[in-house]
Amino acid sequence: MSVVGDVRRSTGTSYWLREALAADPGEACPPLRGETTADVVVLGGGYCGLWTAWFLTERAPGIDVVVLERDVCGSGASGRNGGFVGAWWDEIDGLAARYGDDAALAACRAGDESIWAIEDWCQRQGVDAWYRPADYLEVASSEAQEGAWGGAVEACRRLGEPERYRDISAEEVQRVCRTPALRAGAVMRGATVQPARLARGLRRVLLERGVRIHEGTSASRMGRGSLVEVETKDGLVRAGRAVIATNAWAARWPGLRRSLVVRGSYIVLTAPAPERIEELGWTGGEPICDVRTALHYFRTTPDGRIAFGGVGRALGSRIGPGYDHDEVSLRWVAEGFRRIFPSFDDVPIEEGWGGPVDVSATHHPWFGTLPGGAAHYGVGFTGHGVSQAHLGGRILSALALDREDEVTELPFVNRRPRRFPPSLLTGVGGAVIQRAILRKDRLEDAGRRPGWLTRFVASLPRRLGYALGPSR
């Protein structure tokens, strides 16, 4: 059976966004026409921009906030992602090595708070984002991946938080999801959401709070003087502060260009097959990912589908239609799905879509202020923004209000992001490294050991001090 022959061509949106819009289209948010003023103008109507607007209205009631969104709120990664709501405990060893134990613990605890704060927020605001708390598993799907989680598990033990991220045996993994490719791993607490419902729920609540949202409104230029001036095709906003929350689109924004590289992440979605999910015993809603370098992530939906995601090929920093739907990338992801879930062999893949990911050199986001002091940014979520963008909203609202608190003390706030060298990790250099990573992953999936050249090229980013690519 063809792995992607049956994937319906995406119409540029995801299944999630279509489902969310069908459930509640929301009131219209017409494009900006003419000039206006605001206390804060937010660029980008994804989680980061919308949570920023939320926290601004929480912290400064009556504040005048305008959100400009190129397309519709949730049309970017926030309405396309896997819906994994996770913490940072699985990265605590890297954070501790880079910033020290205390800063790493503070970051992980703040990330954890966001998981539960999103649940609380959905309940209080009446947003049905299918929020479902569950164990979040990271497991080996080949022998070569075994033990990749050991450093973080050990760091959690050493730092007195052994339950936050702990080993789980192959037998325990099989009790969660009985499919033969899955081996031992590690587990932390997390949740899943219907991602677009969360984004659209934020939009609804913000409109009720009086935030002005203009969809179909792309910010084309920003002038920074005593006031920020954001130009759009048919309008202009003058504001005291601006917040740039445009995810991978920021990779072309002056001042942020070399802080990010853009990658696509792609998801295939099966037809409903609840009886097959039952056979797997996968009924607890657990989000699961493997620990390949180009990782796979998979979850179920309430109607018994599997949404299975993975990393796509390098398409460059100009975000075009390939980031919505790329046949090559979707084929890779579908192959991964068929390998890991052989019992779904005759269940059709109904849909496939993708979205852009803003990869930072450190594998975590950065929050700061551009020269001049009036424009703040939150970028570099590196495919983990569902909970982190909530934390990002807390941080960016504090920056825009000139407030300091425990989250502005975190180690990735108000420091210059680590930058990528122009030639090595982007362009041809980036493509060569990505090919080596892909080859390494594929050989290891097949139980073979890659040659030294493949291993060497794949490990170049790590050797150069970037938190990307295989760590061993």
Interface ranges with ligand FAD (CB under 6 A): 43-49, 68-71, 75-78, 80-84, 218-219, 245-247, 249, 265, 267, 297, 309, 354-355, 357, 381, 383-386, 389
Instruction: Find the shortest distance in angstroms from Cβ 165 to ligand FAD.
Output: 16
Q: Strands 132-139, 166-168: parallel, antiparallel or unpaired by DSSP?
A: unpaired
Instruction: State the amino acid at position 73 in one-letter form.
Output: C
**Spatial CA neighbour of 286 closest among 301, 276, 296, 272:** 301
- Integer Cα distance of 173 and 184 in angstroms: 6
| Helix, strand or coil, per DSSP, at residue 298 | strand
When the beta carbons of 43 and 184 are compared against ligand FAD, the nearer one is: 43
Residue whose pair of structure tokens reads 């206006």 in the numeric block:
36
When the beta carbons of 48 and 273 are compared against ligand FAD, the nearer one is: 48
Instruction: Find the shortest distance in angstroms from Cβ 229 to ligand FAD.
Output: 14
When the beta carbons of 270 and 454 are compared against ligand FAD, the nearer one is: 270
Instruction: Find the shortest distance in angstroms from Cβ 351 to ligand FAD.
Output: 12
DSSP string of 42-104, one letter each residue: EE--SHHHHHHHHHHHHHSTT--EEEE-SS-TTSSGGGTS--EE--SGGGHHHHHHHH-HHHH
SS3 content of the chain, % helix, strand, coil (to 5): 40, 25, 40
When the beta carbons of 218 and 408 are compared against ligand FAD, the nearer one is: 218
Runs of H (alpha helix) within 305-384:
327-340
Instruction: Find the shortest distance in angstroms from Cβ 248 to ligand FAD.
Output: 7
Instruction: Find the shortest distance in angstroms from Cβ 390 to ligand FAD.
Output: 10
Q: Strands 34-43, 235-244: parallel, antiparallel or unpaired by DSSP?
A: parallel
When the beta carbons of 104 and 244 are compared against ligand FAD, the nearer one is: 244
| Helix, strand or coil, per DSSP, at residue 338 | helix
Instruction: Find the shortest distance in angstroms from Cβ 171 to ligand FAD.
Output: 26
> Which residues are paired to 192 by β-bridges?
84, 132
- CB 446: neighbour CB atoms within 10 A? 9
Instruction: Find the shortest distance in angstroms from Cβ 263 to ligand FAD.
Output: 9
When the beta carbons of 15 and 466 are compared against ligand FAD, the nearer one is: 15
Cα-based angle 217, 223, 229 (whole degrees, multiple of 5): 55
When the beta carbons of 88 and 99 are compared against ligand FAD, the nearer one is: 88
Residue whose pair of structure tokens reads 């990779």 in the numeric block:
251
**Spatial CA neighbour of 241 closest among 257, 256, 219, 222:** 222
Instruction: Find the shortest distance in angstroms from Cβ 209 to ligand FAD.
Output: 18
- Integer Cα distance of 144 and 134 in angstroms: 27
When the beta carbons of 297 and 460 are compared against ligand FAD, the nearer one is: 297
Instruction: Find the shortest distance in angstroms from Cβ 202 to ligand FAD.
Output: 10
- Integer Cα distance of 36 and 66 in angstroms: 9
Provide the token pair at 327: 């046949």
Runs of H (alpha helix) within 409-451:
427-445
- Residue 284 phi/psi, 5-degree rounding, is -95, 5
Instruction: Find the shortest distance in angstroms from Cβ 446 to ligand FAD.
Output: 25
When the beta carbons of 316 and 429 are compared against ligand FAD, the nearer one is: 316
Instruction: Find the shortest distance in angstroms from Cβ 375 to ligand FAD.
Output: 13
When the beta carbons of 237 and 245 are compared against ligand FAD, the nearer one is: 245
> Which residues are paired to 354 by β-bridges?
266
When the beta carbons of 71 and 146 are compared against ligand FAD, the nearer one is: 71
Cβ atoms of 49 and 224 within 8 Å: the answer is no
